[in-house]
Amino acid sequence: MSQSSDLIQSAQRTIRLEIEAVEGVLARIDGDFVRACELILASKGRVVVVGMGKSGHIGNKIAATLASTGTTAFFVHPAEASHGDMGMITRDDVVLALSNSGSTAEIVTLLPLIKRLGITLISMTGNPESPLAKAAEVNLDARISQEACPLNLAPTSSTTAALVLGDALAIALLEARGFTAEDFAFSHPGGALGRRLLLKVEHVMHSGASLPQVLSGTSLRDALLEMTQKGLGMTVVLQADGNLAGIFTDGDLRRTLDRGVDVLKARIDEVMTVHGKTARPDMLAAEALKIMEDHKINSLVVVDAQDRPVGALNMHDLLRAGVM
């Protein structure tokens, strides 16, 4: 029991110390952060992230986050940069250098060349008075008071602070660029995320002969036959000119029966949902899903710019497509 208690206390202490480290970073988001964003936004090149050891692992993640949120970026190992990979960096690029001490030898070695080439340098350090911080156009202050490691040695709170600061930078740049969900999708085309963000309504909707549709004035009995034949649990109701008059779904049928309507005598116009919620063919399927969720409905009519039905889809279609 005591060992379990010790383990829990250790975990809680670590998390508290890392929360304190993040709160310290939050308090230091200031004009230097703004300047770093401005330098990156003004750059015609890429963001090249460098870092050694644990800072290198964090730098790799920051580069990946930047690249997936609209800022072209990649990671270069500083030791490899001294042996040829410096050729990957151009004068138009911005170097983002991570070092908790600010005096990592492999990075400091690169400073004269970075300066000679006139490459913009942004540092992220835990020591604003370090050689790296002083060499940079702007320093992002990632200092912490204590590592979560009880020996105050293993990079823990410091790497958490740097990671959070990198995320803050990426998201601030994303918002400044007006980066959209569709832009994000093109960086994530694979798997469920790509399906959610790239798939459009026109790719999953039922159209042509598979679209259930009846004219306004049709008997409810015939409308139900159309629904049964097409198997979508709904039918579109058309005006005489082909525009959308309404929609009739399984839910409308239940409500019709609850009201005691004679299904053999009723006309579709008496029981349909007038017009109803619609989607457009070029809309993201994920947007159509949100409309359904927000309005607690299971089906949508897909219309063109003239409000003419061109398709229909339901929750099952989105489920099969992996959108939900």
Per-residue pLDDT of the chain (324 residues; tens, 9 = 90+): 578 889 999 999 999 999 999 999 999 999 999 999 999 999 999 999 999 999 999 999 999 999 988 899 999 999 998 887 888 899 999 999 999 999 999 999 999 999 999 999 999 999 999 999 999 999 999 999 999 988 888 899 999 999 999 999 999 999 998 877 666 666 655 555 555 667 888 988 998 999 999 999 999 999 999 999 998 889 999 999 999 999 999 888 999 998 888 888 899 999 999 998 999 999 888 888 889 899 988 889 999 999 999 999 988 888 887 776
How far apart (Å, rounded) are the C-alpha atoms in residues 157 and 58? 12
- Cα 281 from chain centre: 22
Tokens, residue 124: 């992220």
pLDDT on residue 30: 96
Using an 8 Å Cβ cutoff, are 226 and 213 in contact? yes
Neighbours of 232 (CB within 10 A): 22
**CA angle at residue 260 from 256 to 266, to 5 degrees?**
60
pLDDT at 193: 58
Strands of the sheet containing 234-238, edge to edge, are 213-215, 234-238, 244-249, 273-274
Partnered with residue 219 across adjacent β-strands are 267
Please name which of 320, 312, 110 lies closest in space to residue 211, comparing C-alpha atoms: 312
Q: Among residues 226, 273, 218, which one has the least CA distance to residue 245? A: 273
Q: Find, among 62, 64, 66, the residue nearest to 54 by Cα.
A: 62
Tell me the residue type at 182: E
Residue 28, pLDDT score: 94
Domains and CATH numbers, the chain: 2-179 (3.40.50.10490), 201-320 (3.10.580.10)
For residue 19, give both structure tokens: 């929360």
Within 10 Å of residue 146's Cβ, how many Cβ atoms? 13
- Find, among 217, 253, 207, the residue nearest to 237 by Cα: 217
For the four alpha carbons of 122, 126, 132 and 135, in that order, the dihedral sign comes to: positive
- Residue 318, CA atoms < 13 Å, CB-side half-sphere: 24
User: Contact 286/205 with Cβ under 8 angstroms?
Assistant: no
Which pLDDT value is given to residue 320?
Answer: 81
* DSSP type of residue 265: T
H helical segments located in the chain:
2-27, 31-42, 53-68, 78-81, 105-108, 111-116, 131-135, 157-177, 181-187, 191-198, 201-204, 220-230, 250-258, 268-271, 285-295, 315-320
Give the model confidence (pLDDT) of 8-62 as tens digits: 999 999 999 999 999 999 999 999 999 999 999 999 999 999 999 999 999 999 9
Residue 194, judged by CB atoms within 10 A of its CB (0-12, 13-18, 19+), counts as: middle
Report field, pTM of the whole predicted structure over 0.85? no
